[in-house]
Structure 1
């Protein structure tokens, strides 16, 4: 058995899933930079599919785990579980980095630890399992990877921007404003730093792979810094 087969077996062991069609797993691990002449051979299409399968699977899990929860709470929990940062953490736990197929430029830029790429690959793997083994297999994969997070959200479940705006309005302050502080990274995997300004208070900043995510992170950073929210708050 060659090294590629051994590596695939190691990753499949991490996933606790063995692919009947190994090419699906390879495609889920292939960045567009490694297949510039045929983008359909990259993980992009599988990521598109996996994003939907992940959302359905997590929604299914939430309905079973929180039978008394209303739609609003379920929606907040779903958003927390399927956000890009959570997917990147799952991909890190699977140790997908060494298995990625990348162009030379991406390798030298440290793409194996790039959280935007890792999040995409997490979704692509879910999509690949769905095509290879059906919904039941994909749902089981998602449950193994996300179940521990179900009852222990990493962030408050309430929308940070909304909470900050309500806090400011409750004190007679103007609505918070957001400004782009920095944009870095290549076009396909950008990172944004956004600052939130509240009248009379120091700016707080947040990072994200999209401006809206960075704005949420900045609002959350402000709420935590000012002790409006606590680290373990989940509502």
Structure 2
């Protein structure tokens, strides 16, 4: 299936038309995560890789990723602290799993969100597609190293 391809030519539209163009298909992401964004630009930015040059309304997700990692880490630490009665080492292992890129990649592919990432990097697209195929074969299980 793959991720969203980059159009051949850069598209120049007015603000509202550009939001509609970039938001196309992202309703599925909202439906999947159970949240409707009031500011659609936040979701557009979250789904835009730095290789995608057709988005002239937002930056890539890099800044959001940095902030999101901190918020996610805090929330996962609270969750583990409140819900796990294990040793500190076991809690640390659980926290590491819940905040790992692999764990979130598995969830992203399991729910089809990867299909809506806007990027233009053939190597990354091939890696995402291969990971998605592997996950389909193994039932979307997290692979413990």
TM range (shorter): 0.5 to 0.7
List per-residue Cα deviations over 1:128-177 (Å, max 9, x = no partner). Answer: xxxxxxxxxxxxxxxxxxxxxxxxx853xxxxxxxxxxxxxxxxxxxxxx
TM-score, normalised via structure 1 length: 0.42
Structure richer in strand, relative to its length = 1
Task: Give the drift of 1:6.
Answer: 5.5
Give 1:78's aligned residue. Answer: 95
Give 1:45's aligned residue. Answer: 63
Evaluate the alpha carbon distance shift between residue 37 and residue 20 of structure 1 in structure 2; reply closer, same or farther with a 3 A threshold: closer
Evaluate the alpha carbon distance shift between residue 83 and residue 110 of structure 1 in structure 2; reply closer, same or farther with a 3 A threshold: closer
Correspondent of 2:118 among 90, 101, 113: 101
TM-score, normalised via structure 2 length: 0.65
* CA contact 1:33–1:102 (8 Å) conserved in 2: yes
| RMSD of aligned alpha carbons | 3.2
Task: Give the drift of 1:59.
Answer: 1.3
SS in 2 for 1:34: coil
- Provide structure 2 residue ranges, at least 5 long, that are not aligned to the other structure: 1-19, 133-141
Matched, 1:60 2:78: yes
Task: Give the drift of 1:17.
Answer: 0.9
Pair member with larger Rg: 1
Evaluate the alpha carbon distance shift between residue 64 and residue 56 of structure 1 in structure 2; reply closer, same or farther with a 3 A threshold: same
Q: Distance in 2 between matches of 1:51 and 1:16?
A: 20
Runs of 4 or more, structure 1, over 4 Å off, are 2-6
Q: Distance in 2 between matches of 1:81 and 1:31?
A: 23
- Provide structure 1 residue ranges, at least 5 long, that are not aligned to the other structure: 119-152, 156-216, 218-235
Correspondent of 1:30 among 23, 41, 48: 48
Give 1:129's aligned residue. Answer: none
* CA contact 1:32–1:102 (8 Å) conserved in 2: yes
Task: Give the drift of 1:109.
Answer: 3.6
SS in 2 for 1:33: coil
Task: Give the drift of 1:8.
Answer: 1.8
